[in-house]
């Protein structure tokens, strides 16, 4: 009998990713520091959805620096509401500066 491979990525909890990025609007040379929180089945999908959301917000270019999973529910704002938005299916974009 053949058994299916074990995938350690399977989890009962939702997979909420955080992407740290710098995005550029038209005529902007310095860029805006961003944290993007979203729910996705894998990191490739998370990156695609984040880039699509940035394009919808009018950003022409983005440098994605890091991607990771949010392991605990954030307690402090603005990440707490962004996390809740991600659980509801939104792509939450937090702008700094």
- Tens of pLDDT, residue by residue over 9-49, are 555 678 999 999 999 999 888 999 999 999 999 999 999 99
> Taking 90 as the threshold, does the pLDDT of residue 1 lie above it?
no
**Per residue in 66-95, pLDDT tens?**
999 999 999 999 999 999 999 999 999 999
What's the CA gap between 9 and 44, in Å, rounded?
A: 14
Looking at residue 2, its pLDDT comes to 65
The gap from C-alpha 14 to its chain's centroid, in whole angstroms, comes to 13
Q: What is the pTM of this model?
A: 0.85
Per-residue DSSP letters for 14-34? --EEEEEEEEE-TT-SS-EEE
Looking at residue 51, its pLDDT comes to 98
Sheet containing 32-39, strands listed edge to edge, beginning at the edge strand earlier in sequence: 61-69, 16-24, 32-39, 92-96
The gap from C-alpha 1 to its chain's centroid, in whole angstroms, comes to 40
> Taking 80 as the threshold, does the pLDDT of residue 6 lie above it?
no
């Amino acid at each position: 009998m053949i058994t299916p491979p074990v995938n350690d990525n399977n989890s009962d909890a939702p997979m909420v990713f955080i992407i740290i990025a710098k995005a550029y609007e038209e005529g902007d040379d310095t860029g805006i520091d961003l944290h993007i929180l979203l729910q996705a089945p894998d990191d490739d999908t998370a990156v695609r959805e984040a880039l699509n959301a940035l394009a919808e917000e009018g950003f022409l270019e983005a440098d994605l620096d890091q991607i990771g999973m949010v392991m605990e529910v954030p307690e402090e704002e603005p990440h707490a509401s962004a996390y809740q938005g991600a659980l509801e299916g939104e792509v939450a974009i937090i702008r700094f500066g």
